Chains A and B, each alone.
Chain A
Amino acid sequence: KAGVTQTPRYLIKTRGQQVTLSCSPISGHRSVSWYQQTPGQGLQFLFEYFSETQRNKGNFPGRFSGRQFSNSRSEMNVSTLELGDSALYLCASMKGGARSGEQYFGPGTRLTVT
């Protein structure tokens, strides 16, 4: 079974630009969550999508948004990029409705904002 895939793997953008990251979950997984990882901060939860609906959201500004398509693929968008948005962005998929919280992560997209 193919794992979670994320594209692109690396991205360099300048301040003020916007960026879209993509995530394809494991086949059959309907829940996709997004996390931001920065040194010393661990993984910060951005949001979770399930069946094309955002059902949970972290404490990030409105510049961070996402969506999920009918095939469960998800995209995350960051508008008006700031230097502090430089991070590893991870997406994780789960069967959905699973109480355990056991998520399967993709390799991440390394975003650098200059």
Chain B
Amino acid sequence: DQQVKQNSPSLSVQEGRISILNCDYTNSMFDYFLWYKKYPAEGPTFLISISSIKDKNEDGRFTVFLNKSAKHLSLHIVPSQPGDSAVYFCAASARYKDGNKLVFGAGTILRVKS
């Protein structure tokens, strides 16, 4: 049962254009969402997050949008740069009795062509 889904395994974008990565979730208990970026041979690094009380969070070239009614979030990268080429993971968190558990999507490979 995949509670967090990234339906596009890969995305190719021209340098300077917008990259849009999508993520859907099924568990309505999720109240915090994160995006991580992963380069080969490195661990994922935190990129941006959003709480369920917001519908948008922006950090430089990166913006995350949350549509709670559709259980959908997206990451926009504008403008895209070749260095953005990486695997992007969407993750969701719910408030559990103890501790913290992140549920990750399968990832989307972004290729930015120069």
Report which A residues bind B (CB closer than 8 A).
4, 31, 33, 35, 40-45, 48, 50, 55-56, 58, 90, 92, 94, 98-108
Contact = CB atoms under 8 A, between A and B. Distances in A.
By secondary structure, the A interface counts as strand
A102 B49 contact: yes
Contacts of B95: 99
A100 B100 CA distance: 9
A50 B34 CA distance: 21
Interface residues of B, number: 28
Given A31-B99, A90-B43, 15 more contacts: A42-B4, A42-B107, A43-B91, A43-B102, A45-B103, A48-B100, A56-B96, A56-B98, A56-B99, A94-B100, A99-B95, A100-B93, A101-B49, A105-B45, A106-B43
A40 to B, nearest CB: 6
Nearest to A94: B100
A92 B43 contact: yes
A42 B106 contact: yes
Nearest to B1: A59
B42 interface: yes
Nearest to B31: A99
Interface string B71-111: 00000000000000000010101011011111111110000
A56 B100 contact: yes
B44 A98 contact: no
Contacts of B107: 42
B44 A99 contact: no
Given A55-B98, A55-B99, A100 B104 contact: no
B32 A101 contact: yes
